[in-house]
Structure 1
């Protein structure tokens, strides 16, 4: 399960490296889930990173990773992949295993890391992949409830107004 306070602490640990100033968890549609940034970054900067990351992902989703130099610095975007059956221990049922084969096409969450140019792409990618691997299991647990068909609320009972 993803607990926002724990998630924020995790993202804060990721940005403890020099030059890495923003870590974001977002949906592929650009919805911000959680973020951590250093004190020099504003919420508007984070929103820009989220928007750019979503746009970057649209362009590179088939490659699985996006890397862009921008006015905000280096931005790396990658998917939090569905946890494989080998990582989910014995708690997966055959039905769960069958469902994970087709859901990995579209990721449920993305990670975006924003750093200065002093951070090498290899280091940024290694941090991103490590974070994505760490988050893959709890995010995979959310897939079924979040992608289930929405339930329509019951219709209010019809009333007759007699005069």
Structure 2
């Protein structure tokens, strides 16, 4: 079994969260409760982590949970930026770029935080379920692979070495 790569897995998890962010933003634009899209972000992040790192460990699932929670916050920032841009006739990118300056002036900060928090709760519940029940055999505690030897290749290599020694003696 190949050894997993945490850096590539993290990059994969970031890429994997993008469908969840898109779903969150799309459903929120329809004025529907969209926090359940945290499940989508988590499972896509876990899938892409596994694809990029070639191995899923518990650390990989935890990294995917953290990145999925951060992506839900990003999705809410995007939704709020779109709403502000539409209301006050600014471009989305102007509002998004200056969001940290605009945030203190929001009237209802509670509504900004409630949906990403609920989405993060869904992400944590899904991650906990993934770690404990669903795929116990697929997730390893640590990445402790031993080198596996293919004995047939060793035999072939020995035979080649023997042939080379015979030819050099002759």
* Structure holding more strand per residue: 1
* Structure holding more helix per residue: 2
| TM-score after normalising by structure 1 | 0.29
Task: Say which one has the larger Rg.
Answer: 2
| TM-score after normalising by structure 2 | 0.28
